[in-house]
Structure 1
């Protein structure tokens, strides 16, 4: 008999067979996975942000567990999300870059791809995703409803998510039109609609196990949002330089933002409000102690559309931003919350990454993993157990800017860039040099040789992605 994680009446999670719990087990744990877009490690208060207010995420950390060494799947959106969805690092994923399809969509995954949605459906969960998809194009085999999700509401295409006032969103396979937003008018705000649909999904499925992915596009540019009370907290707080731009629904870009600093801060605080709404909804429904909520981000902060990561120190104590494979581009906030199950006020230095989410949910639900996975379950860490396995190494690759690779093994990190051209090897000791300032490659040639060997063997060739020489 498969083991599965169930909630006993005592309120304590145990990994046991059905006969291992003397009291009748209740329904399996729900899972809500909240994924911010381009939110940096240092953009929230519990990770050191001093200007932007994030009281709900901070409370989530106070009542749950904060991870200090969690990593995104990549340093840009699509490959990072593919890593999350498939339990593979970018040396093995099908999608390894933001490969665009016009007029709408990105590089699709194959029809037989095993995803988080398929895993959770096989475990008896109702599944939903609300926000940005970015892993296929409309009409392809790689849309949410064909990748294991019962319900989808949001943007299929990440370029179109650059506008928060779109002319359409998708509800499953139906296009939902917003003619009032034509010609870049700002009438109907997408994030509120997406948030409302996510809360409705939770309410509608309160009597059955559910898996909800809330993939908001905040605080990714464009830097525009309703000028409500959240915006007004920051409206006159900064000396501003307007960002002048124009959004094109086929080719992307970003609309003008009159006050980009205030807008960015308000977008983070609005995201924080959404997190608070989810926590409140779960509590009101009596599901807060039966739902694991995870909050994180898809990669490091951006410097686009008027955003200024230097002003807010969005990268925290690290070097680098989005598109870098330095820590600031790939190390991200992650907070986990489930009162009575996840220890309040806990902090974990366990090294984990997006490709660990699939094995974690597999262990949570007693589901057999596919043969190929790069991940290790961090469920023991969530439950404050001492039997947590560790990675031998973590690996990333990035296919823009002539290609970049990174590998972390323990305290050591090797960066190889550019891949096309005159390649430089950089070796850092993260235990003493978290800002990656001192390249130790010449001092420790044997360590470089060891990590280069791991790096060379970490990846398989891709038919579409070849470090800037896309086929």
Structure 2
């Protein structure tokens, strides 16, 4: 696969740590942390091959654990991707399958605009990984971006298993952006005086990091589950300064800013790792890191230029909102020092619905209905081979689209009842050669799987007209 040789050579010099072993009777259950970047591409980190952006702490995570070369988000945009992560349901079954919906949800407006648009939201019958872990005795916290509330006041994180929430909501404009004037503390709005009246005093990713450090300190007796939902590097592009890129000759200011946004994300991750080590929790904590979809927040000329300048999609085809690899393949790292072999690289295809069953397996919690599988066996044995299974995505902008991964095969359908494109990712990771005509039996099998996995809902009825993703 693209860059695999680079990744392996980068990690080859790392001494292998002891293999993963289940906690002995009487020992504590592991803490679980999921760190999620926002619109960061597969190629935006040094460990995945970036030659322009330095990410020493993300690299540090990979060097202490397992790096997946074929890790996928839950969707090509934010809301449905996070829904898949939290609920373990892929977008053929999940409540939220686009940032907007055809039915259900609630109508609302964005900012000072008068245009009404419909956003889906989680409902009481939906269950998140936080609820299951909370029920198993974990203290649960969410810092940063939730994005599953839409315009529904009863769809906030505390209603879905999070004991502590400090961050922002879709329905609270003042809590959004990189310099918010207010922040949600559970159900309460709290002022940020440093950012009042348009001031740029406190940078949201730095606020998030401090909130996460505080959560760890107060809950270090464990076990705890922490979800750190960073904004970075989602547009608009802004940072306190250019960081280590200030003197980059030939770089435009927005290019320096984009790299600085990832720098501050990486610095935050480093602080979390240092905190765990100082508290003696590093060997008791499993850390997941990923991005919620591909790069390029909006398909503008400026953002396309930035994504291409940094090779943010790692040479893959497509960007955010695309069903091709560049839209859904993302960095995927799992670290647990002393339990997961250090510097391991896995080619097993994994995606966001796998997090919920993996977290429950690691915590010894009861199994839940899910479209994913536990990754624990692959963390135990990096050489373990995966049986072929169907990974499924659907999306509604600009119209109903589907994608599926089955073994080495990737299929894409760009309109309802349209012909399937088929790609052999083992030799064509850029999806440049459609081989559907040469493999009708594979096309038929994947088409059958797509039909099985798509289930219409109130929010996305059949036939599904355009829903229309309008942000994030």
Higher relative contact order (CA 8 A, sep 6+): 2
Partner residue, 1:111: 124
Cα 1:376–1:156 change in 2 (3 A) is same
Partners in 2 of 1:389 and 1:438 — Cα distance? 25
TM-score by length of 2: 0.86
Partner residue, 2:6: none
Shift of 1:355: 0.3
Map 1:97-246 to 2 at 5 A.
Answer: 97-99=98-100, 101-102=108-109, 106-137=119-150, 140-157=153-170, 163-178=177-192, 181-182=195-196, 184-227=198-241, 231-237=242-248, 239=250
- 8 Å contact from structure 2 (residues 150, 170) kept in 1: yes
Shift of 1:468: 4.0
Partner residue, 2:76: 75
Partner residue, 1:248: none
- 8 Å contact from structure 2 (residues 149, 171) kept in 1: no
Partners in 1 of 2:349 and 2:50 — Cα distance? 22
Partners in 2 of 1:86 and 1:299 — Cα distance? 17
User: Is 1:398 aligned with 2:411?
Assistant: no
Partner residue, 1:436: 431
Partners in 2 of 1:261 and 1:280 — Cα distance? 29
Q: Which of residues 311, 316, 321 in structure 2 aligns to 1:323?
A: 321
Partners in 1 of 2:438 and 2:172 — Cα distance? 44
Partner residue, 2:457: 462
Partners in 2 of 1:81 and 1:318 — Cα distance? 22
Map 1:352-371 to 2 at 5 A.
Answer: 352-370=350-368
Q: Which of residues 411, 414, 422 in structure 1 aligns to 2:408?
A: 411
Shift of 1:57: 1.1
TM-score by length of 1: 0.86
Q: CA RMSD in A?
A: 2.3
- 8 Å contact from structure 2 (residues 44, 50) kept in 1: yes
- 8 Å contact from structure 1 (residues 359, 375) kept in 2: yes
Deviations 1:324-365 (A, max 9, x none): 011111111011112111101110111111001111111112
Structure 2 regions of 5+ residues with no counterpart? 1-17, 101-106, 112-117
Deviations 1:36-58 (A, max 9, x none): 10111100011000011111111
- 8 Å contact from structure 2 (residues 41, 330) kept in 1: yes
Map 1:284-323 to 2 at 5 A.
Answer: 284-304=278-298, 306-307=302-303, 308-323=306-321
Partners in 1 of 2:449 and 2:19 — Cα distance? 40
User: Secondary structure in 1 aligned to 2:40?
Assistant: coil
Please identify, of 305-314 and 453-462, the stretch whose mean Cα deviation from structure 2 is larger: 305-314
Partner residue, 1:450: 445
- 8 Å contact from structure 1 (residues 106, 135) kept in 2: no
Partners in 1 of 2:214 and 2:155 — Cα distance? 25
Partner residue, 1:378: 375
Partners in 2 of 1:385 and 1:225 — Cα distance? 38
User: Secondary structure in 1 aligned to 2:228?
Assistant: strand
Structure 1 regions of 5+ residues with no counterpart? 1-10, 242-258
Shift of 1:316: 0.7
Cα 1:168–1:138 change in 2 (3 A) is farther
Q: Which of residues 349, 352, 358 in structure 2 aligns to 1:351?
A: 349
Aligned length: 432
Shift of 1:456: 1.1
Partner residue, 2:270: 276
- 8 Å contact from structure 1 (residues 132, 157) kept in 2: no
Cα 1:278–1:295 change in 2 (3 A) is same
